[in-house]
Amino acid sequence: MSSKDRGARAVRGGRLVAGWRTGLPRLVLLMQAGNAVNFFGYGLILPFEIIYLHQFRGFGTATAGLVLAAILGSGTLVSPPTGALLDRFRPKPVLIAGNLACALGYAGFALVDRPAQAFACAVVAGAGVGAARVANQTLLITLITPEQRPASFALGRVAQNVGLGIGATVAGFVIASAQHLGSFQALYLFDGITYAAFALAVLAMVPNRRVAAAPGAAAGVQGGFRAVARDRRFLIVIAVNIVLIIVGYTTFANLLAPFVKTHTRVGPGAIGIIFLVNTSFVVIAQLPAARVFTRIRRAHVFAAASAFFALALLGVVLATLIHSVVGAIALLAGVATVFAMGECVHAVVLGPLVADLAPPHLLGRYMSLYSLMVTGGFALGPAIGGVVLAISPDAVWWGGALVAAVIGAGFLLSGDFIPEPPAVATSSARFDRTPETA
């Protein structure tokens, strides 16, 4: 190989590495690594929760489903009070308490043998998840500059996908090799340990910072949620993005598999590969996407995410017209990739926008409603989509594409309604910090 070829390869390699640089402080990298470990623990139990409660604890499937719903419900109820708490107190102790509640609740599932015990564990674990999720984002914001927010939210998405993907894969091998009660109990106990370990790491290594208060405002006192409710721009952003989460994230996560299994020639094994393509793309592309799209106007980034979702939704309908199994799998793998592109682009802009819209003394409340928006979208998506799927299966996909296209057009016409990030002129340097912050 000539020196010229070696130089070209070195340049390409350097660009690839540069795409993965975040410029985030080491402390933030440590916290995101801890989040990845937490999601790994959750991934260990996620695919098998109903199987464990039904087959090994003797609960009816309806009861098992209600137990899981109790986790989501308690997390939802706890999020707004946590936001108010974070506007009065520092986020570090709230995050530690939330993770310890998660550890207690999920480890407790290993020992339940009656529904009442399972519901108690679900409430404790769900409350911990709701509190920890809001406190985690709030604490991370105190550790970074506004220019670093896109990188932090992007890295959080990577941590989530890596943790869940590896956890679910490991759990599958564990259960396949030893399908008995002790295997499930070990998974739940290990999940609890990951939460407790993260709480200890935060206690020992993360500074106990307070969110900066607005001039003349007592933190969390002036206005409360009534002040948030008067922020018309924030409420519109939240409402529109709930819809975008429903037609983008939840249709793929919850409705694609049953639709594909019923209306195409693609089998369960191939469906698993399609989902693997999606998560793998997010892990690989999320950080480079953050580097590229933070240089573009936020309204245009939202429009791009909407366009990716619309194209992917239409691609699902096209898969029903292909009679070749290989062809249908190839098309759906492309659909999964386009969905992932939409997810990567959307994640770059949404979280940082919410943080920028929040007055410092109301940051906890804003982040709690941001958390509720995500939870609400994932709860409403399967409910609405399931009804539409029963009435007209194709309407889920072309109807969702139409909604996404309308939202994208609205963003293009929004003008200055979507504010640009602080110091937008220095966006090209957002990920190129000095060595001590790398």
Verify that 206 and 237 share a domain, yes or no.
no
Percent of the chain with pLDDT over 70: 88
Is 14 inside any structural domain?
A: no
Q: What is the pLDDT of residue 232?
A: 92
The CA–CA distances, whole Å, from 318 to 78, 260, 271, 393 equal 42, 11, 16, 13
Q: How many angstroms separate the CA atoms of 434 and 406, rounded?
A: 42
Average pLDDT in the chain: 85
Verify that 249 and 132 share a domain, yes or no.
no
Q: What is the pLDDT of residue 1?
A: 55
The CA–CA distances, whole Å, from 273 to 230, 329, 335 equal 45, 9, 12
Domain-terminating residue out of 162, 178, 211? 211
Tell the burial category of 76 from Cβ atoms under 10 Å away from its Cβ (0-12, 13-18, 19+): middle
Domain range for 61 is 23-211
Is 432 inside any structural domain?
A: no
Verify that 238 and 179 share a domain, yes or no.
no
- Side-chain-side CA neighbours of 195 within 13 Å: the count stands at 29
Verify that 198 and 249 share a domain, yes or no.
no
CATH of the domain at 275: 1.20.1250.20
Is 290 inside any structural domain?
A: yes
> Token pair for residue 289?
């996407």
Verify that 409 and 285 share a domain, yes or no.
yes
Q: What is the pLDDT of residue 427?
A: 39
Q: What is the pLDDT of residue 212?
A: 56
Is 430 inside any structural domain?
A: no
Q: How many angstroms separate the CA atoms of 141 and 156, rounded?
A: 12
Q: What is the pLDDT of residue 4?
A: 53
Verify that 272 and 200 share a domain, yes or no.
no
Q: What is the pLDDT of residue 422?
A: 64
Q: What is the pLDDT of residue 119?
A: 95
Verify that 36 and 155 share a domain, yes or no.
yes
Model confidence over 68-105: pLDDT tens digits?
889 988 998 999 999 999 999 899 999 999 999 999 99
How many domains, the chain? 2
> Token pair for residue 115?
């529904």
Verify that 80 and 148 share a domain, yes or no.
yes
Verify that 236 and 178 share a domain, yes or no.
no
Low-confidence ranges of the chain (pLDDT < 70): 1-20, 22, 210-223, 422-438
Verify that 158 and 206 share a domain, yes or no.
yes
**Contact status, residue 39 vs residue 163, Cβ threshold 8 Å:** yes
Is 431 inside any structural domain?
A: no
Q: What is the pLDDT of residue 117?
A: 96
Among residues 41, 93, 78, 71, which one has the least CA distance to residue 199? 93
Domain-terminating residue out of 146, 178, 211? 211
- Is the alpha carbon torsion for 274, 286, 211, 360 positive or negative? negative
Among residues 44, 225, 198, which one has the least CA distance to residue 132? 198
Is 2 inside any structural domain?
A: no
Helix (H) or strand (E) holding 30: helix 26-45
- Side-chain-side CA neighbours of 153 within 13 Å: the count stands at 29
Is 141 inside any structural domain?
A: yes
Is 8 inside any structural domain?
A: no
Verify that 200 and 84 share a domain, yes or no.
yes
Domain-terminating residue out of 151, 184, 211? 211
Verify that 253 and 190 share a domain, yes or no.
no
